[in-house]
Structure 1
């Protein structure tokens, strides 16, 4: 029965990123490989984190309270186009800076992992408990050997 399938039977070879990569590189990799997250390795090849699209989105999100468009005064109507142009330029600069952010500055450092001999049922429980979509799979030495996603588990059911 499917419930007794092991993580090692359905895990995939992981696509990884380095902790010193820029977000621009990660975004390109995610798009090219059609993935939404990846384990993060340091220069020694050790698993040090995990990064996902949501980590990137949080970094790129800006909140601007200064631009108030509700019931502008006549003076605001004159200044608004100039204020808007300035804010757009500031946003572009902020975005450029954000894209140069290093993975290690935005990744999730407390990584929940799976072991290859766990059942996929146990892996699914971990994902639900921790509200995560992927689990790096590590061997007894903590070395990354694979990854299992919610999609992998669902595919294993059919």
Structure 2
């Protein structure tokens, strides 16, 4: 099974200049734990997760105002043609829950552990 068969598309995305509060509401309202952050030309520049937002909001001192202030810039991505088993190994070894899916440099979707669990709930003949 390939990543393109289990990914969610389109992905909820943010821009570095988006308000942190906007990201908090979007993650919560969409029942997701992380989302890609795109640059001016649609390129992937980061990921923002619940933990990034929680740490930003509850850190001592001034709360960050923009997604770019709290996003992670270290990215782990996969191609849409990656085998799902390879993705699972990557998620386990890197201890990540959400992985952006690229076609060359274009974001085409996202895969979460929940997406992979959904595959297991399908009837098998």
**Which one has the bigger strand percentage?**
2
Corresponding residue for 2:6?
A: 10
Return the alpha-carbon distance in structure 1 between the equivalents of residues 120 and 33 of structure 2: 22
Corresponding residue for 1:86?
A: none
> How many residues were matched structurally?
120
**Which one has the bigger helix percentage?**
1
- Does 2:41 match 1:44? yes
When normalised by structure 2's length, the TM-score is 0.89
Question: Which one of 96, 116, 125 corresponds to residue 89 of structure 2?
Answer: 125
When normalised by structure 1's length, the TM-score is 0.71
Larger-Rg structure: 1
Question: Which one of 137, 145, 148 corresponds to residue 101 of structure 2?
Answer: 137
Return the alpha-carbon distance in structure 2 between the equivalents of residues 33 and 154 of structure 1: 17
Unpaired segments ≥5 residues, structure 1: 64-93
- Does 2:116 match 1:148? no
Structure 1 ranges of 4+ moved more than 4 A: none
What root-mean-square deviation, in Å, do the aligned CA atoms of Structure 1 and Structure 2 show? 1.4
Note the alpha carbon deviations across 1:100-145, whole angstroms, 9 max, x for none.
Answer: 52111111101100111111111111111111100000012x1100
Return the alpha-carbon distance in structure 1 between the equivalents of residues 94 and 19 of structure 2: 27
Corresponding residue for 1:34?
A: 31
Return the alpha-carbon distance in structure 2 between the equivalents of residues 115 and 43 of structure 1: 22
